[in-house]
Amino acid sequence: MGVRRLEGSNGGYYASRRRTLARLSPLRYHRWWATKAPSDWGYMTAKYIFITGGVVSSVGKGITTAAIGRLLKARNVPVVIQKLDPYLNVDPGTMSPYQHGEVYVTADGAETDLDLGHYERFLDQDLTRASSVTTGQIYQAVISRERRGDYLGRTIQPIPHVTNEIKERIRGIGRDSGAEVVILEVGGTVGDIEGQPFLEAIRQMRNEEGRHDTVAIHVTLLPYISTTGELKTKPTQHSVRELRSVGIQPDIIVCRSDKPISAEIRDKISLFCDVEPRAVIPLLTMPSIYEVPLVLEEAGLGDYVCDRLNISPTSKDLDDWRTWVQRLKNPQRTVNVAVVGKYVELPDAYLSVKESLIHAAVDLNAAVNIHWLHSEDVDSASAGKLFSEIDGIVVPGGFGERGIEGKVQAARFARANGVPYLGLCLGLHVMTVEFARDHFGSDDANSTEFNPETPYPVITLLDAQRRVVDKGGTMRLGGYDCRLVAGTRAHAAYGAGEVTERHRHRYEFNNEYRAELEAAGLVPSGTTPDGSLVEICEVRDHPWMVGSQFHPEFRSRPNRPHPLFAGFLAATVERSLARNGQAPVEPRARHAAAASSRASRARS
Protein backbone atom coordinates (compact mmCIF):
# COMPACT_ATOMS: atom_id res chain seq x y z
CA MET A 1 0.00 0.00 0.00
CA GLY A 2 2.49 2.63 1.24
CA VAL A 3 2.08 6.09 -0.18
CA ARG A 4 -0.35 6.27 -3.08
CA ARG A 5 -2.21 8.90 -5.04
CA LEU A 6 -5.81 9.64 -4.13
CA GLU A 7 -8.37 9.26 -6.91
CA GLY A 8 -8.75 12.45 -8.90
CA SER A 9 -6.14 14.44 -6.95
CA ASN A 10 -3.54 16.63 -8.58
CA GLY A 11 -0.66 15.06 -6.63
CA GLY A 12 2.03 15.97 -9.16
CA TYR A 13 1.12 19.66 -8.96
CA TYR A 14 1.18 19.65 -5.17
CA ALA A 15 4.52 17.84 -5.02
CA SER A 16 5.99 20.48 -7.31
CA ARG A 17 4.43 23.22 -5.18
CA ARG A 18 5.95 21.69 -2.06
CA ARG A 19 9.44 21.68 -3.61
CA THR A 20 9.04 25.31 -4.65
CA LEU A 21 8.02 26.30 -1.13
CA ALA A 22 11.02 24.51 0.32
CA ARG A 23 13.38 26.31 -2.05
CA LEU A 24 11.97 29.83 -1.85
CA SER A 25 10.83 29.95 1.75
CA PRO A 26 12.58 27.30 3.83
CA LEU A 27 11.33 28.63 7.17
CA ARG A 28 7.69 28.70 6.12
CA TYR A 29 8.06 25.28 4.52
CA HIS A 30 9.64 23.57 7.51
CA ARG A 31 7.26 25.12 10.01
CA TRP A 32 4.15 24.34 8.01
CA TRP A 33 4.73 21.33 5.77
CA ALA A 34 5.95 19.02 8.56
CA THR A 35 2.73 19.67 10.50
CA LYS A 36 0.64 18.37 7.61
CA ALA A 37 -0.14 14.74 6.99
CA PRO A 38 0.66 13.64 3.40
CA SER A 39 -3.08 13.08 2.82
CA ASP A 40 -3.46 16.88 2.97
CA TRP A 41 -1.44 17.01 -0.27
CA GLY A 42 -3.51 14.42 -2.11
CA TYR A 43 -1.70 11.29 -0.87
CA MET A 44 -2.70 8.44 1.40
CA THR A 45 -0.06 7.72 4.00
CA ALA A 46 0.94 4.65 5.95
CA LYS A 47 -0.58 3.83 9.31
CA TYR A 48 1.59 4.08 12.43
CA ILE A 49 2.12 2.00 15.56
CA PHE A 50 4.05 3.86 18.28
CA ILE A 51 5.68 1.66 20.94
CA THR A 52 7.02 3.12 24.19
CA GLY A 53 8.38 1.51 27.34
CA GLY A 54 7.84 2.19 31.00
CA VAL A 55 8.87 1.31 34.57
CA VAL A 56 12.36 0.00 33.68
CA SER A 57 14.67 -0.19 30.69
CA SER A 58 15.32 -3.51 28.90
CA VAL A 59 11.66 -4.39 29.42
CA GLY A 60 11.40 -6.09 26.04
CA LYS A 61 10.21 -3.34 23.68
CA GLY A 62 12.49 -4.52 20.89
CA ILE A 63 11.23 -8.11 20.93
CA THR A 64 7.62 -6.91 21.31
CA THR A 65 8.08 -4.55 18.34
CA ALA A 66 9.59 -7.30 16.19
CA ALA A 67 6.85 -9.74 17.23
CA ILE A 68 4.07 -7.29 16.30
CA GLY A 69 5.74 -6.90 12.90
CA ARG A 70 5.69 -10.70 12.55
CA LEU A 71 1.96 -10.81 13.38
CA LEU A 72 1.16 -8.22 10.72
CA LYS A 73 3.32 -9.94 8.09
CA ALA A 74 1.49 -13.18 8.87
CA ARG A 75 -1.64 -11.28 7.80
CA ASN A 76 0.03 -10.16 4.52
CA VAL A 77 0.26 -6.55 5.72
CA PRO A 78 3.39 -4.80 4.34
CA VAL A 79 5.39 -3.56 7.33
CA VAL A 80 8.53 -1.56 8.06
CA ILE A 81 10.04 -0.83 11.49
CA GLN A 82 11.93 2.23 12.68
CA LYS A 83 13.89 2.66 15.93
CA LEU A 84 14.10 6.10 17.56
CA ASP A 85 17.11 6.19 19.87
CA PRO A 86 17.37 9.20 22.21
CA TYR A 87 21.16 9.31 22.60
CA LEU A 88 23.22 12.13 21.08
CA ASN A 89 25.57 9.81 19.19
CA VAL A 90 24.93 9.94 15.46
CA ASP A 91 25.01 6.14 15.49
CA PRO A 92 26.32 3.45 17.85
CA GLY A 93 29.34 2.70 15.65
CA THR A 94 31.82 4.37 18.00
CA MET A 95 30.21 3.13 21.22
CA SER A 96 31.75 0.42 23.41
CA PRO A 97 29.95 -2.96 23.30
CA TYR A 98 29.80 -2.72 27.10
CA GLN A 99 27.73 0.46 26.66
CA HIS A 100 25.52 -0.60 23.80
CA GLY A 101 25.92 -4.28 22.94
CA GLU A 102 26.23 -5.36 19.33
CA VAL A 103 26.42 -2.89 16.47
CA TYR A 104 24.13 -4.24 13.77
CA VAL A 105 25.03 -3.37 10.17
CA THR A 106 22.35 -3.02 7.49
CA ALA A 107 22.83 -3.89 3.83
CA ASP A 108 23.24 -0.21 2.93
CA GLY A 109 26.04 0.23 5.47
CA ALA A 110 24.34 1.83 8.48
CA GLU A 111 25.72 1.03 11.94
CA THR A 112 22.62 0.59 14.07
CA ASP A 113 21.10 -0.63 17.31
CA LEU A 114 20.95 -4.39 17.91
CA ASP A 115 17.15 -4.21 17.89
CA LEU A 116 17.32 -3.85 14.10
CA GLY A 117 18.71 -7.38 14.09
CA HIS A 118 15.57 -8.58 15.88
CA TYR A 119 13.42 -6.68 13.39
CA GLU A 120 15.13 -8.23 10.36
CA ARG A 121 15.11 -11.74 11.81
CA PHE A 122 11.43 -11.64 12.81
CA LEU A 123 10.25 -9.91 9.62
CA ASP A 124 12.65 -11.79 7.35
CA GLN A 125 13.26 -8.62 5.38
CA ASP A 126 16.20 -6.27 4.98
CA LEU A 127 15.91 -2.80 6.51
CA THR A 128 17.85 0.35 5.63
CA ARG A 129 19.53 3.21 7.44
CA ALA A 130 16.15 4.96 7.50
CA SER A 131 15.10 2.43 10.16
CA SER A 132 17.61 3.86 12.64
CA VAL A 133 17.08 7.42 13.88
CA THR A 134 19.01 9.00 16.77
CA THR A 135 18.77 12.33 18.53
CA GLY A 136 22.28 12.98 17.23
CA GLN A 137 21.10 12.63 13.63
CA ILE A 138 18.12 14.92 14.25
CA TYR A 139 20.14 17.70 15.84
CA GLN A 140 22.89 17.34 13.23
CA ALA A 141 20.33 17.80 10.44
CA VAL A 142 18.65 20.80 12.11
CA ILE A 143 21.96 22.55 12.90
CA SER A 144 23.28 21.90 9.38
CA ARG A 145 20.14 23.51 7.98
CA GLU A 146 20.58 26.49 10.28
CA ARG A 147 24.23 26.90 9.23
CA ARG A 148 23.16 26.98 5.60
CA GLY A 149 20.73 29.77 6.40
CA ASP A 150 17.64 27.72 5.59
CA TYR A 151 15.78 29.21 8.55
CA LEU A 152 16.49 32.82 7.48
CA GLY A 153 18.10 33.77 10.79
CA ARG A 154 15.10 32.85 12.95
CA THR A 155 15.41 31.30 16.40
CA ILE A 156 15.70 27.50 16.15
CA GLN A 157 13.68 25.66 18.79
CA PRO A 158 12.85 22.08 19.80
CA ILE A 159 9.26 22.85 18.77
CA PRO A 160 8.69 23.06 15.85
CA HIS A 161 12.09 22.53 14.23
CA VAL A 162 13.33 19.41 16.03
CA THR A 163 9.90 17.78 16.16
CA ASN A 164 9.30 18.56 12.49
CA GLU A 165 12.56 16.82 11.58
CA ILE A 166 11.51 13.78 13.61
CA LYS A 167 8.11 13.65 11.94
CA GLU A 168 9.67 13.93 8.50
CA ARG A 169 11.93 10.93 9.27
CA ILE A 170 8.93 8.92 10.44
CA ARG A 171 6.74 9.80 7.44
CA GLY A 172 9.69 9.46 5.09
CA ILE A 173 10.26 5.78 5.83
CA GLY A 174 6.57 5.13 5.20
CA ARG A 175 6.75 6.94 1.85
CA ASP A 176 9.98 5.35 0.70
CA SER A 177 9.33 1.78 1.83
CA GLY A 178 5.80 1.51 0.48
CA ALA A 179 4.72 -0.15 3.72
CA GLU A 180 1.11 -0.11 4.82
CA VAL A 181 2.12 0.02 8.50
CA VAL A 182 5.14 1.72 10.06
CA ILE A 183 6.05 0.45 13.53
CA LEU A 184 8.00 2.94 15.66
CA GLU A 185 9.92 1.86 18.74
CA VAL A 186 11.03 4.71 21.01
CA GLY A 187 14.21 3.77 22.87
CA GLY A 188 14.62 4.38 26.57
CA THR A 189 11.88 4.76 29.16
CA VAL A 190 8.98 7.20 29.40
CA GLY A 191 10.12 9.96 31.72
CA ASP A 192 13.69 10.12 30.38
CA ILE A 193 14.49 13.75 29.60
CA GLU A 194 16.33 12.87 26.36
CA GLY A 195 13.27 11.12 24.92
CA GLN A 196 10.89 14.08 25.24
CA PRO A 197 11.30 15.42 21.67
CA PHE A 198 10.33 12.01 20.24
CA LEU A 199 7.26 11.76 22.45
CA GLU A 200 6.21 15.30 21.52
CA ALA A 201 6.55 14.47 17.81
CA ILE A 202 4.41 11.37 18.33
CA ARG A 203 1.78 13.43 20.18
CA GLN A 204 1.59 15.82 17.24
CA MET A 205 1.40 13.01 14.70
CA ARG A 206 -1.49 11.37 16.52
CA ASN A 207 -3.42 14.62 16.11
CA GLU A 208 -2.40 15.13 12.48
CA GLU A 209 -3.12 11.60 11.23
CA GLY A 210 -6.55 10.02 10.92
CA ARG A 211 -8.32 8.47 13.90
CA HIS A 212 -7.77 4.94 12.57
CA ASP A 213 -4.22 5.61 11.39
CA THR A 214 -2.28 5.44 14.67
CA VAL A 215 -2.05 3.11 17.66
CA ALA A 216 -0.02 3.75 20.82
CA ILE A 217 1.32 0.68 22.62
CA HIS A 218 2.98 0.96 26.03
CA VAL A 219 5.18 -1.93 27.25
CA THR A 220 5.56 -2.07 31.03
CA LEU A 221 6.79 -4.38 33.77
CA LEU A 222 4.64 -5.88 36.52
CA PRO A 223 7.14 -6.55 39.34
CA TYR A 224 6.59 -9.58 41.55
CA ILE A 225 6.90 -9.11 45.32
CA SER A 226 7.97 -12.48 46.67
CA THR A 227 7.18 -11.69 50.32
CA THR A 228 3.49 -11.16 49.52
CA GLY A 229 3.31 -13.33 46.41
CA GLU A 230 1.80 -10.48 44.38
CA LEU A 231 2.23 -8.81 41.04
CA LYS A 232 2.09 -5.03 41.51
CA THR A 233 0.31 -2.74 39.04
CA LYS A 234 1.18 0.61 40.63
CA PRO A 235 4.42 1.12 38.62
CA THR A 236 2.41 0.58 35.41
CA GLN A 237 -0.23 3.09 36.53
CA HIS A 238 2.47 5.68 37.24
CA SER A 239 4.17 5.00 33.91
CA VAL A 240 0.90 5.48 32.02
CA ARG A 241 0.26 8.69 33.96
CA GLU A 242 3.73 9.92 32.90
CA LEU A 243 2.88 9.12 29.29
CA ARG A 244 -0.45 10.92 29.56
CA SER A 245 1.31 13.96 30.97
CA VAL A 246 2.96 14.49 27.57
CA GLY A 247 -0.37 14.06 25.80
CA ILE A 248 -0.27 10.41 24.75
CA GLN A 249 -3.01 8.04 25.90
CA PRO A 250 -1.94 4.44 25.22
CA ASP A 251 -4.43 2.28 23.31
CA ILE A 252 -2.77 -0.99 24.32
CA ILE A 253 -0.70 -1.94 27.35
CA VAL A 254 1.63 -4.95 27.07
CA CYS A 255 2.43 -6.22 30.56
CA ARG A 256 5.74 -8.03 30.98
CA SER A 257 5.86 -10.41 33.91
CA ASP A 258 7.71 -13.40 35.31
CA LYS A 259 4.46 -14.74 36.78
CA PRO A 260 1.04 -15.41 35.20
CA ILE A 261 -1.24 -12.36 35.10
CA SER A 262 -4.76 -12.97 36.38
CA ALA A 263 -7.95 -11.58 34.85
CA GLU A 264 -8.38 -9.52 38.01
CA ILE A 265 -5.06 -7.75 37.48
CA ARG A 266 -5.86 -7.12 33.80
CA ASP A 267 -9.21 -5.58 34.78
CA LYS A 268 -7.48 -3.38 37.35
CA ILE A 269 -4.99 -2.08 34.78
CA SER A 270 -7.84 -1.51 32.34
CA LEU A 271 -9.76 0.52 34.90
CA PHE A 272 -6.93 2.70 36.18
CA CYS A 273 -5.16 3.19 32.85
CA ASP A 274 -8.33 3.77 30.77
CA VAL A 275 -7.89 1.07 28.12
CA GLU A 276 -10.23 -1.70 27.04
CA PRO A 277 -9.87 -4.95 29.01
CA ARG A 278 -8.86 -6.85 25.86
CA ALA A 279 -6.19 -4.20 25.22
CA VAL A 280 -4.29 -5.27 28.35
CA ILE A 281 -1.97 -7.92 26.89
CA PRO A 282 -0.09 -10.28 29.23
CA LEU A 283 3.43 -11.21 28.12
CA LEU A 284 5.02 -13.80 30.36
CA THR A 285 8.79 -14.25 30.23
CA MET A 286 9.36 -17.07 27.75
CA PRO A 287 12.26 -19.55 27.41
CA SER A 288 12.85 -18.29 23.85
CA ILE A 289 12.24 -14.92 22.25
CA TYR A 290 10.84 -16.76 19.21
CA GLU A 291 7.80 -17.80 21.24
CA VAL A 292 6.74 -14.18 21.77
CA PRO A 293 4.78 -13.76 18.48
CA LEU A 294 2.79 -16.89 19.32
CA VAL A 295 2.06 -15.66 22.85
CA LEU A 296 0.92 -12.25 21.60
CA GLU A 297 -1.21 -13.85 18.90
CA GLU A 298 -2.90 -16.10 21.45
CA ALA A 299 -3.60 -13.01 23.58
CA GLY A 300 -5.41 -11.43 20.62
CA LEU A 301 -2.97 -8.59 19.98
CA GLY A 302 -2.76 -9.08 16.21
CA ASP A 303 -6.52 -8.94 15.71
CA TYR A 304 -6.91 -5.98 18.07
CA VAL A 305 -4.24 -3.93 16.28
CA CYS A 306 -5.89 -4.61 12.92
CA ASP A 307 -9.26 -3.56 14.34
CA ARG A 308 -7.84 -0.32 15.70
CA LEU A 309 -6.12 0.50 12.41
CA ASN A 310 -9.15 -0.51 10.36
CA ILE A 311 -7.12 -3.12 8.45
CA SER A 312 -8.84 -6.13 6.91
CA PRO A 313 -6.16 -8.84 6.67
CA THR A 314 -6.41 -11.37 3.86
CA SER A 315 -4.93 -14.23 5.92
CA LYS A 316 -3.46 -15.13 9.29
CA ASP A 317 -0.75 -17.72 8.84
CA LEU A 318 1.78 -18.43 11.59
CA ASP A 319 2.01 -22.17 10.85
CA ASP A 320 5.62 -22.07 9.59
CA TRP A 321 6.70 -20.02 12.60
CA ARG A 322 4.86 -22.34 15.00
CA THR A 323 6.44 -25.42 13.43
CA TRP A 324 9.92 -23.89 13.66
CA VAL A 325 9.41 -23.02 17.35
CA GLN A 326 8.36 -26.61 18.05
CA ARG A 327 11.59 -27.84 16.45
CA LEU A 328 13.52 -25.33 18.55
CA LYS A 329 11.90 -26.65 21.73
CA ASN A 330 12.35 -30.35 20.87
CA PRO A 331 15.93 -30.97 19.71
CA GLN A 332 17.23 -34.49 19.11
CA ARG A 333 20.75 -33.74 20.33
CA THR A 334 22.89 -30.98 21.88
CA VAL A 335 26.26 -29.69 20.71
CA ASN A 336 28.76 -27.60 22.66
CA VAL A 337 30.13 -24.52 20.92
CA ALA A 338 32.70 -22.14 22.41
CA VAL A 339 32.45 -18.46 21.50
CA VAL A 340 35.83 -16.90 22.26
CA GLY A 341 35.63 -13.12 22.62
CA LYS A 342 36.63 -10.27 24.87
CA TYR A 343 33.12 -8.92 25.58
CA VAL A 344 31.59 -12.21 26.75
CA GLU A 345 30.51 -10.68 30.08
CA LEU A 346 27.79 -9.06 27.96
CA PRO A 347 26.49 -11.70 25.50
CA ASP A 348 24.43 -8.97 23.76
CA ALA A 349 27.77 -7.89 22.25
CA TYR A 350 27.54 -11.06 20.11
CA LEU A 351 23.75 -11.26 19.84
CA SER A 352 23.52 -12.01 16.11
CA VAL A 353 26.21 -14.69 16.44
CA LYS A 354 24.17 -16.41 19.16
CA GLU A 355 20.95 -16.25 17.14
CA SER A 356 22.70 -17.51 13.99
CA LEU A 357 24.00 -20.55 15.87
CA ILE A 358 20.45 -21.25 17.09
CA HIS A 359 19.04 -20.96 13.55
CA ALA A 360 21.59 -23.39 12.15
CA ALA A 361 21.20 -25.85 15.03
CA VAL A 362 17.40 -25.99 14.70
CA ASP A 363 17.77 -26.80 11.00
CA LEU A 364 19.76 -29.88 12.10
CA ASN A 365 17.26 -30.76 14.86
CA ALA A 366 19.87 -29.86 17.45
CA ALA A 367 20.26 -27.50 20.38
CA VAL A 368 23.42 -25.47 20.81
CA ASN A 369 24.98 -25.04 24.25
CA ILE A 370 27.13 -21.91 24.01
CA HIS A 371 30.20 -21.67 26.24
CA TRP A 372 31.18 -18.00 26.52
CA LEU A 373 34.98 -17.99 26.94
CA HIS A 374 36.91 -14.79 27.60
CA SER A 375 39.84 -14.62 25.22
CA GLU A 376 42.12 -13.34 28.00
CA ASP A 377 41.57 -16.65 29.81
CA VAL A 378 42.79 -18.74 26.87
CA ASP A 379 46.48 -19.60 26.50
CA SER A 380 48.55 -22.57 25.42
CA ALA A 381 48.40 -24.08 28.91
CA SER A 382 44.65 -23.72 29.43
CA ALA A 383 43.39 -24.43 25.89
CA GLY A 384 43.33 -28.20 26.26
CA LYS A 385 41.16 -28.09 29.36
CA LEU A 386 38.88 -25.28 28.13
CA PHE A 387 38.15 -26.98 24.81
CA SER A 388 38.14 -30.62 25.96
CA GLU A 389 34.33 -30.95 25.72
CA ILE A 390 33.84 -28.49 22.87
CA ASP A 391 32.47 -29.59 19.49
CA GLY A 392 33.11 -26.32 17.62
CA ILE A 393 34.80 -22.94 18.10
CA VAL A 394 33.61 -19.50 16.94
CA VAL A 395 35.82 -16.42 17.10
CA PRO A 396 33.61 -13.38 16.42
CA GLY A 397 34.49 -9.85 15.36
CA GLY A 398 36.10 -7.16 17.48
CA PHE A 399 38.69 -4.41 17.60
CA GLY A 400 41.86 -3.75 19.58
CA GLU A 401 44.79 -5.78 20.89
CA ARG A 402 43.32 -6.91 24.22
CA GLY A 403 42.70 -10.66 24.29
CA ILE A 404 44.04 -11.22 20.80
CA GLU A 405 46.56 -13.91 21.78
CA GLY A 406 43.81 -15.97 23.38
CA LYS A 407 41.91 -15.92 20.10
CA VAL A 408 45.05 -17.03 18.26
CA GLN A 409 45.39 -19.92 20.70
CA ALA A 410 41.77 -20.89 20.06
CA ALA A 411 42.46 -20.99 16.31
CA ARG A 412 45.63 -23.05 16.94
CA PHE A 413 43.74 -25.59 19.00
CA ALA A 414 41.04 -25.89 16.33
CA ARG A 415 43.55 -26.37 13.51
CA ALA A 416 45.76 -28.83 15.36
CA ASN A 417 42.91 -30.94 16.73
CA GLY A 418 40.47 -30.94 13.82
CA VAL A 419 37.83 -28.98 15.75
CA PRO A 420 35.32 -27.15 13.49
CA TYR A 421 36.12 -23.43 13.50
CA LEU A 422 34.24 -20.39 12.21
CA GLY A 423 36.03 -17.03 12.18
CA LEU A 424 34.02 -13.86 11.70
CA CYS A 425 35.93 -10.76 10.54
CA LEU A 426 38.57 -10.58 13.29
CA GLY A 427 38.14 -14.36 13.55
CA LEU A 428 39.48 -14.61 9.99
CA HIS A 429 42.41 -12.38 10.95
CA VAL A 430 43.49 -14.48 13.95
CA MET A 431 43.04 -17.68 11.93
CA THR A 432 45.38 -16.23 9.28
CA VAL A 433 47.88 -15.02 11.88
CA GLU A 434 47.95 -18.45 13.57
CA PHE A 435 48.42 -20.26 10.25
CA ALA A 436 51.20 -17.85 9.23
CA ARG A 437 53.01 -18.31 12.57
CA ASP A 438 53.00 -22.06 12.06
CA HIS A 439 54.10 -21.74 8.41
CA PHE A 440 56.90 -19.22 9.01
CA GLY A 441 57.91 -20.77 12.33
CA SER A 442 57.73 -17.38 14.01
CA ASP A 443 55.36 -15.89 16.58
CA ASP A 444 56.14 -12.47 15.07
CA ALA A 445 53.60 -12.95 12.28
CA ASN A 446 50.73 -10.62 13.08
CA SER A 447 48.23 -8.02 11.94
CA THR A 448 49.46 -4.44 11.67
CA GLU A 449 46.45 -3.53 13.82
CA PHE A 450 48.22 -5.18 16.76
CA ASN A 451 51.88 -4.86 15.77
CA PRO A 452 52.65 -2.21 13.13
CA GLU A 453 56.29 -3.38 13.00
CA THR A 454 55.64 -7.09 12.46
CA PRO A 455 58.04 -8.67 9.92
CA TYR A 456 55.13 -10.79 8.60
CA PRO A 457 52.15 -8.40 8.20
CA VAL A 458 49.69 -11.01 6.92
CA ILE A 459 46.77 -8.70 7.83
CA THR A 460 47.10 -5.02 6.94
CA LEU A 461 45.11 -1.81 6.69
CA LEU A 462 42.97 -1.37 3.61
CA ASP A 463 44.46 1.17 1.19
CA ALA A 464 41.24 3.21 1.33
CA GLN A 465 41.59 3.47 5.12
CA ARG A 466 45.11 4.88 5.28
CA ARG A 467 44.05 8.52 5.08
CA VAL A 468 40.93 8.17 7.23
CA VAL A 469 40.95 10.31 10.39
CA ASP A 470 37.36 10.23 11.68
CA LYS A 471 36.22 7.03 13.36
CA GLY A 472 32.44 7.22 12.92
CA GLY A 473 30.96 5.66 9.78
CA THR A 474 34.30 5.44 7.96
CA MET A 475 34.96 1.69 7.82
CA ARG A 476 34.21 -0.59 4.90
CA LEU A 477 30.52 -0.91 5.66
CA GLY A 478 27.50 -2.66 4.18
CA GLY A 479 26.94 -5.14 1.38
CA TYR A 480 29.73 -6.10 -1.04
CA ASP A 481 29.81 -8.88 -3.61
CA CYS A 482 31.94 -11.98 -3.02
CA ARG A 483 32.93 -14.44 -5.76
CA LEU A 484 33.32 -18.02 -4.54
CA VAL A 485 35.95 -20.47 -5.72
CA ALA A 486 34.59 -23.75 -7.07
CA GLY A 487 35.60 -26.89 -5.20
CA THR A 488 35.91 -25.19 -1.81
CA ARG A 489 33.86 -25.71 1.34
CA ALA A 490 32.54 -22.18 1.09
CA HIS A 491 31.31 -22.74 -2.46
CA ALA A 492 29.65 -26.03 -1.41
CA ALA A 493 27.96 -24.34 1.54
CA TYR A 494 26.51 -21.51 -0.53
CA GLY A 495 25.80 -23.54 -3.66
CA ALA A 496 26.32 -20.33 -5.65
CA GLY A 497 29.06 -18.63 -7.58
CA GLU A 498 28.59 -15.12 -6.19
CA VAL A 499 26.93 -13.74 -3.05
CA THR A 500 26.53 -10.42 -1.28
CA GLU A 501 27.56 -10.06 2.37
CA ARG A 502 27.75 -7.28 4.96
CA HIS A 503 31.07 -5.85 6.11
CA ARG A 504 32.39 -3.76 9.01
CA HIS A 505 36.19 -3.56 9.07
CA ARG A 506 39.33 -1.55 8.28
CA TYR A 507 41.91 -4.36 7.98
CA GLU A 508 42.20 -6.99 5.27
CA PHE A 509 44.19 -10.06 4.19
CA ASN A 510 47.58 -8.95 2.81
CA ASN A 511 47.81 -10.08 -0.82
CA GLU A 512 51.62 -10.14 -0.64
CA TYR A 513 51.32 -13.40 1.32
CA ARG A 514 48.39 -14.81 -0.59
CA ALA A 515 50.19 -17.19 -2.96
CA GLU A 516 52.63 -18.52 -0.37
CA LEU A 517 49.96 -19.20 2.27
CA GLU A 518 47.66 -20.77 -0.31
CA ALA A 519 50.42 -23.16 -1.34
CA ALA A 520 50.84 -24.04 2.34
CA GLY A 521 47.13 -24.86 2.70
CA LEU A 522 45.31 -21.59 3.57
CA VAL A 523 42.94 -21.32 0.63
CA PRO A 524 41.26 -18.03 -0.38
CA SER A 525 37.84 -19.50 -1.19
CA GLY A 526 36.06 -16.18 -1.71
CA THR A 527 37.25 -12.88 -3.14
CA THR A 528 35.86 -9.62 -4.45
CA PRO A 529 34.67 -10.01 -8.07
CA ASP A 530 37.88 -8.41 -9.35
CA GLY A 531 39.98 -10.71 -7.16
CA SER A 532 41.69 -7.82 -5.37
CA LEU A 533 40.53 -8.61 -1.82
CA VAL A 534 40.22 -11.90 0.03
CA GLU A 535 36.76 -12.34 1.53
CA ILE A 536 36.84 -15.97 2.75
CA CYS A 537 39.69 -18.27 3.73
CA GLU A 538 39.63 -21.94 4.67
CA VAL A 539 42.21 -24.49 5.77
CA ARG A 540 42.69 -27.34 3.33
CA ASP A 541 42.19 -30.89 4.68
CA HIS A 542 40.40 -29.74 7.82
CA PRO A 543 36.82 -30.84 8.73
CA TRP A 544 35.69 -27.20 8.77
CA MET A 545 38.01 -24.27 9.36
CA VAL A 546 36.55 -21.28 7.56
CA GLY A 547 36.90 -17.56 8.20
CA SER A 548 35.04 -14.70 6.55
CA GLN A 549 36.04 -11.06 6.29
CA PHE A 550 32.35 -10.14 6.39
CA HIS A 551 29.71 -10.76 9.07
CA PRO A 552 27.44 -13.64 7.97
CA GLU A 553 25.54 -13.42 11.26
CA PHE A 554 23.70 -10.35 9.97
CA ARG A 555 21.97 -12.37 7.25
CA SER A 556 20.83 -15.43 9.18
CA ARG A 557 17.10 -15.93 9.75
CA PRO A 558 14.87 -18.50 11.47
CA ASN A 559 13.93 -21.15 8.89
CA ARG A 560 16.79 -19.78 6.72
CA PRO A 561 20.16 -20.16 8.48
CA HIS A 562 23.21 -18.62 6.90
CA PRO A 563 25.15 -21.16 4.78
CA LEU A 564 28.43 -20.66 6.67
CA PHE A 565 26.74 -21.19 10.03
CA ALA A 566 24.86 -24.15 8.57
CA GLY A 567 28.09 -25.74 7.33
CA PHE A 568 29.85 -25.05 10.63
CA LEU A 569 27.03 -26.55 12.72
CA ALA A 570 26.83 -29.61 10.45
CA ALA A 571 30.54 -30.27 11.05
CA THR A 572 30.04 -29.60 14.76
CA VAL A 573 27.17 -32.10 15.02
CA GLU A 574 29.26 -34.69 13.18
CA ARG A 575 32.15 -34.19 15.61
CA SER A 576 29.80 -34.43 18.59
CA LEU A 577 28.35 -37.72 17.33
CA ALA A 578 31.82 -39.13 16.70
CA ARG A 579 33.03 -38.09 20.18
CA ASN A 580 30.06 -39.83 21.73
CA GLY A 581 30.46 -43.00 19.67
CA GLN A 582 27.33 -42.46 17.59
CA ALA A 583 26.86 -42.94 13.88
CA PRO A 584 27.98 -39.97 11.79
CA VAL A 585 25.43 -37.82 10.03
CA GLU A 586 24.87 -38.86 6.43
CA PRO A 587 26.39 -36.43 3.91
CA ARG A 588 22.91 -35.55 2.71
CA ALA A 589 21.77 -34.61 6.21
CA ARG A 590 25.08 -32.91 6.90
CA HIS A 591 24.40 -30.40 4.17
CA ALA A 592 20.63 -30.16 4.68
CA ALA A 593 20.87 -26.77 6.36
CA ALA A 594 22.95 -25.30 3.58
CA ALA A 595 20.68 -26.75 0.89
CA SER A 596 17.57 -25.44 2.65
CA SER A 597 19.15 -22.03 2.94
CA ARG A 598 20.15 -21.98 -0.74
CA ALA A 599 16.65 -22.89 -1.86
CA SER A 600 15.08 -20.23 0.34
CA ARG A 601 17.48 -17.57 -0.88
CA ALA A 602 16.78 -18.52 -4.50
CA ARG A 603 13.05 -18.05 -3.91
CA SER A 604 13.43 -14.70 -2.11
Catalytic residues: 425, 551, 553
- Nearest-CA neighbor of 551 among 476, 486, 484, 487? 476
Say if residues 536 and 509 touch (Cβ distance below 8 Å).
Answer: no
Q: Is 267 helix (H, G, I), strand (E, B) or coil?
A: helix
Residues near 334 by beta carbon (within 8 Å), at least 6 away in sequence: 366, 367, 368, 369, 576
CA distance 436 to 448: 14
Return d(Cα 310, Cα 212) in angstroms, integer: 6
DSSP string, 465-519: GTT----TT-SEEEEEEEEEPTTSHHHHHHTSSEEEEEEEESEEE-GGGHHHHHH
Order of strands across the sheet with 507-509?
Answer: 446-447, 457-461, 507-509
Strands (E) across 55-180 are located at 79-85, 104-105, 111-112, 132-134
Q: Peptide bond preceding 160: is omega within 30 degrees of 0, i.e. cis?
A: yes
Rounded distance between C-alpha atoms, residue 135 and residue 594, angstroms = 41
H helix intervals, 232-382:
234-245, 263-273, 292-298, 301-308, 319-329, 351-363
- DSSP three-state, residue 27: helix
Among 342, 515, 543, 520, CA closest to 426: 342
Number of neighbours of residue 100 by Cβ within 10 angstroms? 19
How far, in Å, are 6, 340, 567 from residue 543 at the CA level?
60, 19, 10
